[in-house]
C-alpha cells in the first residue's frame, strides 16, 4: 500500500488516500467487519472480495432511503459496533449510499472506500459527501461523513466499460478547467494521444493513472481546506446544476450530463461576466453527444430550478476563481432557458468530430 495523501478535514476526521496493490487491497477487504459492494464489481472481482459478510448494491437504482435502512439492518444483524470497519466498494452511487448508511448506523462507524470507477477515484470518494435521491431529485438527503481511508486499486479500472472511462474523465477535466494549470497541461498532452474510452481497448498506463491521482489530489486539497462547502469548495460543483437536471430529466449518466452541464454553464458564466472563459472543444469528443435525445428546454429548466444549491428565484452556478472572486454566481431563469436552447440548436456541431 502506498500512501498518496494524509489530510485532516476537521478536528475529528483524517482521511488517508492510498494506492493499493492487489494483495494489500485484498487484505484490507478481508479484515473488514462488513462489505458493501457494487453488484457487478463483486462478480468481476470475486476472488479479491474475500469476506463472508457482504451486501450487494445496484448503483443508482439502489440510491434511496429504503436501501439505506436495509443496510443498517444488515449491519445490526452482523452485530457491528462503532469500532467496526465497513469496506465500501463501488462507483459514486454505491459509495454515496454506503457512506450514508455508515454515517447513520450507531451515528457513525469506520468506513473504508474502494473506488472502482474513474469518476469515483477522482471525485465521488473524496470529501465526505454522502447522499441519496428523493422523488427523482439528485442527492437531496445526505450527510457529511469522512471515510478513514480511500484505497485506489487500479485493477478495478481494467474491467470498466470503455464509456465509463470516457465519462469519468470529465470530472478530471473539470478539475483542470477550474484552476489547475499543471493538471490541464497533462490532460491536454494525454488527449493528443487518445481520449480514454473513445476507442477500445482502454490502456491504463502510468500517464493515465498519474492524471487520475493528480486530479484526486486537487479535490483532496480543496475539500480539506473547505470541508463543509462554505467557500472555494463550492467551485467544484461546476457543471452540476445543469448536469443534475439532465440526469433526472433525460436519464443521462452522470459523466455525460456533467459534460453538457459544463458547456451550458460556461456559456451562462460568459454572459454574466463578459469574460472569455477557456473551454477547449477537443476535451469533449463527439461520442459523448452521439444519439443524444434531450427533453424540451422548459423541462430541463424546471429540473434545474429544483437543484438544492438554488436560493429564492435565482439559479446558482459555480465559477472558477479567475472568472469571479465569488464561488457562486446567480442567473435568471430566462438566461438559463436561453442558454439551454442555444446548446440544443448547436448540438449538431458538437456531434461532429472536432479538430
The C-alpha atoms of residue 200 and residue 239 are separated, in whole angstroms, by 27
The C-alpha atoms of residue 86 and residue 57 are separated, in whole angstroms, by 14
Q: Which of 93, 38, 47, 104 is nearest to 70 (CA)?
A: 104
Select which of 138, 235, 244, 256 is catalytic.
244
Select which of 165, 175, 233, 235 is catalytic.
233
List Cβ neighbours of 325 (8 Å cut-off, separation of 6 or more): none
Active site residue 82: no
Select which of 107, 192, 230, 290 is catalytic.
107
Active site residue 254: yes
Select which of 45, 63, 165, 240 is catalytic.
240
User: Do 119 and 60 form a contact (C-beta atoms < 8 A)?
Assistant: no
Select which of 235, 237, 247, 303 is catalytic.
237
Select which of 63, 174, 254, 256 is catalytic.
254
Active site residue 265: no
Residues listed for the chain: 355
Question: Hey, what's the cell of 109?
Answer: 462507524
R_g over Cα of the chain: 20
Select which of 26, 45, 63, 129 is catalytic.
129
Question: Hey, what's the cell of 59?
Answer: 448503483
Active site residue 107: yes
The bridge status of strand 129-134 relative to strand 137-144 is: antiparallel
Active site residue 266: no
Active site residue 235: no
Catalytic residue set = 107, 129, 171, 219, 229, 233, 237, 240, 244, 254
Amino acid at each position: 500500500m502506498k500512501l498518496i495523501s494524509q489530510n485532516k478535514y476537521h478536528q475529528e476526521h483524517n482521511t488517508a488516500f492510498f494506492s493499493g496493490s492487489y494483495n494489500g487491497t485484498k487484505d484490507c477487504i478481508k479484515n473488514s467487519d462488513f462489505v458493501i459492494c457494487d453488484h457487478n464489481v463483486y462478480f468481476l472481482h470475486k476472488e479479491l472480495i474475500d469476506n463472508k459478510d457482504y451486501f450487494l448494491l445496484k448503483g443508482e437504482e439502489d440510491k434511496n432511503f429504503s436501501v439505506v435502512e436495509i443496510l443498517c439492518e444488515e449491519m445490526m444483524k452482523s452485530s457491528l459496533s462503532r469500532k467496526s470497519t465497513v469496506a465500501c466498494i463501488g462507483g459514486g452511487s454505491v459509495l454515496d449510499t454506503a457512506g450514508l448508511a455508515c454515517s447513520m448506523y450507531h451515528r457513525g462507524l469506520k468506513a473504508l472506500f474502494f473506488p472502482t470507477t474513474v469518476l469515483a477515484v477522482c471525485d465521488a470518494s473524496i470529501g465526505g459527501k454522502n447522499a441519496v435521491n428523493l422523488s427523482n431529485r439528485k442527492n437531496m438527503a445526505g450527510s457529511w461523513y469522512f471515510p478513514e481511508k480511500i484505497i485506489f486499486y487500479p485493477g478495478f479500472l481494467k474491467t470498466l466499460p470503455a464509456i465509463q472511462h470516457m465519462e469519468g474523465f470529465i470530472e478530471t477535466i473539470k478539475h483542470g478547467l477550474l484552476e489547475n494549470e499543471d493538471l490541464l497541461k497533462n490532460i491536454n498532452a494525454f488527449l493528443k494521444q487518445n481520449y480514454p474510452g473513445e476507442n477500445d481497448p482502454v490502456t491504463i498506463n502510468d500517464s493515465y493513472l498519474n492524471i487520475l491521482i493528480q486530479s484526486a489530489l486537487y479535490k483532496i486539497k480543496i475539500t480539506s481546506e473547505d470541508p463543509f462547502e462554505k467557500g472555494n469548495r463550492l467551485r467544484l460543483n461546476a457543471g452540476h446544476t445543469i448536469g443534475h437536471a439532465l440526469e433526472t430529466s433525460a436519464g443521462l449518466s452522470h459523466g455525460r450530463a456533467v459534460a453538457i452541464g459544463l458547456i451550458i454553464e460556461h456559456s451562462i458564466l460568459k454572459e454574466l461576466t463578459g469574460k472569455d472563459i477557456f473551454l477547449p472543444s477537443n476535451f469533449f469528443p463527439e461520442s459523448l453527444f452521439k444519439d443524444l435525445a434531450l427533453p424540451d428546454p422548459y423541462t430541463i429548466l424546471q429540473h434545474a430550478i429544483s437543484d438544492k444549491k438554488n436560493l429564492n428565484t435565482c439559479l446558482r452556478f459555480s465559477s472558477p476563481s479567475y472568472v469571479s472572486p465569488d464561488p457562486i454566481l446567480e442567473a435568471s431563469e430566462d438566461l438559463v432557458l436561453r442558454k439551454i436552447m442555444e446548446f440544443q440548436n448547436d448540438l449538431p456541431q458538437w456531434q461532429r468530430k472536432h479538430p
